[in-house]
Structure 1
Amino acid sequence: MFERDYLIRLLTQAGLVLGKAMRLREQQKQQEALDLVDEFLGRELRLRSRLAVGLSDEDLLAMLSVTGSPNAESVAVVAAFLQQEADLLDDLGQPEESVPRYAKALRLNLYLIRHGMEFEGWDVRSRVDELLKALERYELDPETKKALWLWHEFEGRWAEAEDALYELADEDAVTRTEGEAFYDRLSASEDTALEAGGLSREELEEGRKQWATLMKENVS
């Protein structure tokens, strides 16, 4: 009961602070809004935004875990505040600071979706759309591209997932085994599901052959 009450309070307070930060942004008080965001994270989650950005996703999720599993509400709040910070820093013309925050927020939200951790009253998918739009102007880092690859697969967008796989391969950001496992997972799907996701069974098998050939070329 105590944990549930805490999480309800966390979400309520987060909503109020985000609203205040947005109003400050409208008043062109970006630095005041940034201070407000950082102070909230430090007080409520014992986490500063610079630390959140600097940690690996795995370490950050571990910090937000209870009994070994990341807490969905805490992850969602951190993602929302990183997104808010990114918006403010973008206003100030600091893409070197805003882009990593947008990317981290996107990966955290995609993690929630892929692990079935969405919850009522917090529209994670709308936030993903906002973050993708904010990042359109920039080249994404391999870690974020990989998160998008896994998300496309999770959502059943097989053709988009396959395209993302080859983009990762171009950057040496995915292993041969990961690609083979991807095709194995898709092969287990029904033909109707594959076609709904943009791939026929024939296209899937052709893609598997092309992947094997590409990996051989990369080794030689």
Structure 2
Amino acid sequence: MINRDYILRLIEQFSRALARVLLLRQDYQYEEALILIDELFRQTLGLSSEFLLAAPEEMLLALVKRIDLLDVGKCLWIALLLKLEGDVYQDLERYEESFPRYLRSLRLFLEAVLLEENPRQSDFFAEVEELLTLLSRHELPASLLTRIMLYYEKTGRYAQAEDALFEALKAPDSSDEVFGQGLAFYARLQEKSNAELRAGNFSPEEIKEGLADLQRLQEAHRSPPSAE
């Protein structure tokens, strides 16, 4: 299990403030809830959510690392606050502001939860599942979809993992790296027993079909467009 002492201490220390946010939402005092969340961001991180949203993804991930190791507690805390803030904007039906917060929140939750031996046992499994549902109707970047693929794979949902992979391949920001991750995904599935594959709503035949589709897409991606 990942070390979550940092975030548990923060949740305990700021439990009244977090509870207050929920009460404000229940009382439809959304602007007051946003002010309180902003105070939590600044008190615990010295940053605002606007900064975290504006920062390039590489910078965001660098902020939650110590040298090359993920600072899991900090990562989860930022993810939790961003989701909470996104929920308030969702209450306000300001979806253009909830969406980017949910995107960043899910990315950070996945970075931390994927370190779990069994993500289903994570304290934040419910938050990840809720975010996946909230974002399911949106086009997502390939960098996030490949993390979703790994998450579904690690939780034994191989058919959903394959769906995420092919969404990533079709994403505007897809790259050669995604094809490499796809090949590695099918290689790992080939090591699974038939019983494991069936439990994940998959089969050896689907591995062959998916791998063939992936290789066709890769060849098409590599081939230069024909001159007219």
Report Cα offsets for 1:55-77 as digits up to 9, x if no partner: 24443232233454222222222
Asked if the contact 2:64–2:71 (Cα under 8 Å) also holds between the matched residues in 1, the reply is yes
Are 1:187 and 2:190 an aligned pair?
Answer: yes
Contact kept? 1:64, 1:75, Cα under 8 Å: yes
**How far apart are 1:146 and its partner, in Å?**
2.6
Runs of 4+ with deviation above 6 angstroms: none
Aligned residue number for residue 127 of structure 1:
127
Aligned partners of 1:72 and 1:117 also within 8 Å = no
Unaligned residue ranges in structure 1 (runs of 5+)? none
- Stretches of structure 2 lacking an aligned partner (at least 5 in a row): 224-228
Q: What is the distance in 2 between the residues matched to 1:127 and 1:15?
A: 17
Residue identity matched to 1:142? A
With normalisation by structure 2, the TM-score equals 0.82
Q: Distance in 2 between matches of 1:19 and 1:130?
A: 19
Give the aligned partner of residue 21 of structure 2. Answer: 21
1:168–1:174 contact (8 Å) kept in structure 2: no
User: 1:160 maps to which residue?
Assistant: 160
- Judge conservation of contact 1:153–1:161 (CA < 8 Å) in 2: yes
Alpha-carbon separation, structure 1, partners of 2:124 and 2:11: 13
Give CA-to-partner distance per residue, 1:117-155, whole Å, 9 cap, x none. 899x97301112222333345443433323211211222
CA offset digits 1:3-46 (Å, max 9, x no partner): x9865532213432221111112222212211111111111122
Whether the aligned pair in 2 keeps the contact of 1:165 and 1:174 (CA below 8 Å) is no
Q: 1:50-61, aligned counterparts within 5 Å?
A: 50-61=50-61
Matches of 1:192 and 1:200 in 2, distance apart? Answer: 9
The corresponding residue for 1:148 is: 148
Give the aligned partner of residue 202 of structure 2.
199
Helix, strand or coil at the partner of 1:198: coil
**Cα pair distance change 1:135/1:213, threshold 3 Å:** closer
Change (3 A) 1:117 1:8: farther
CA contact (8 A) 1:72 1:118 kept: no
How many residue pairs get aligned? The number is 216
Equivalent residue runs for 1:22-41 within 5 Å: 22-41=22-41
Does structure 2 retain, via aligned residues, the 8 Å contact 1:18–1:81? no
- Structure 2 CA distance, aligned partners of 1:111 and 1:26? 31
1:41 and 1:47 in contact (8 A); partners too = yes
2:142 and 2:171 in contact (8 A); partners too: yes
Q: 1:163-178 residue pairs with structure 2 within 5 A?
A: 163-172=163-172, 173-175=174-176, 176-178=179-181
Work out the CA distance in 2 between the residues paired with 1:23 and 1:115. 33
Amino acid at match of 2:92: L
Displacement of 1:101 in angstroms is: 0.4
- 1:68–1:169 Cα change, 3 Å: closer
Superposed CA RMSD in Å reads: 2.7
C-alpha change, 1:122 and 1:19, in structure 2 (3 Å) is farther
Q: CA deviation at 1:103?
A: 1.5
CA-CA distance at 1:83 after TM superposition:
0.9
1:88 corresponds to which letter in structure 2? V
Aligned-pair CA distance for 1:98? 0.8
In structure 2, relative to structure 1, the CA distance for the partners of 1:12 and 1:210 (3 Å cut) is: same
State, as a whole percentage, how many aligned pairs show the same letter.
Answer: 34
Determine whether 1:88 maps to 2:91.
no
Deviation of 1:167 after TM superposition, in Å, equals: 1.9
Amino acid at match of 2:140: L
